[in-house]
Amino acid sequence: ASLCAGELARLYAIVGDLDIIDNTDTDGYKTKTPIGYLPALAHSEAGLFPNCTFEMGCLQESLAVERYIASLAPTFAGLTPQQKAMDDMFAMIKEDILSGTETGAFNATVAPTVVPPIYDRYLAVLEGFVPDAGFVNAYPFPTGADLAILIALKSGFPFGAALKNAKYDGTSKYPKVYALAERAAQHPKVASYLKKSKTFYAVL
């Protein structure tokens, strides 16, 4: 399982000033959730899967959970449809990178072959969307686009493990993307979360 699966949802809540209950006790999710993946989410007060247990089903799939958390977060209430679409695009590219490089996280022998082409493909695209300064959607705080880049470049598993196994460093080729990840990490709310997070840097 990908340890980073819930990180963008968590960061949406942190930056967005939304209180959530983050339960990392996930024993049995592969066989007990309807789809077999994490994250899984319920919001019984709003009528969203009020009987959510692994057996009864919950909201699943990363993008669905991320979008829902972001939609509730007060800080992101002013985002336009275009800005939300940009966040979703970056979030889906994160998932594309994940699907293409996870093998390299588990297998250091194949990592130098499989990881660099995937990162080169997507970081080259993202470099064109990333500003020289500030954040993608021009707010004084990171939104989903910036946070997705942070996860893809700095989280522990599988992204960090794949990058380490491949000995990949795209800093010189994609300086704006890497600089954006640093800016997102240095935002006070994000930095505070990263200092105490038990999941962001975790590795298998």
Cα-Cα-Cα-Cα torsion 83, 85, 91, 92, nearest 10 degrees, comes to -160
77-94 tens-digit pLDDT:
999 999 999 999 999 999
Question: Domain map of the chain by residue range?
Answer: 7-75, 78-196
Multiple choice CATH, 78-196, 1.10.287.130, 1.10.3720.10, 3.40.630.10, 1.20.1050.10: 1.20.1050.10
40-64 tens-digit pLDDT:
666 666 566 666 665 555 777 788 8
Is residue 93 within 8 A of residue 125, CB to CB? The reply is yes
Residue 97 has pLDDT above 50, yes or no: yes
Q: How far apart are CA 15 and CA 39, in angstroms?
A: 19
pTM of the model: 0.87
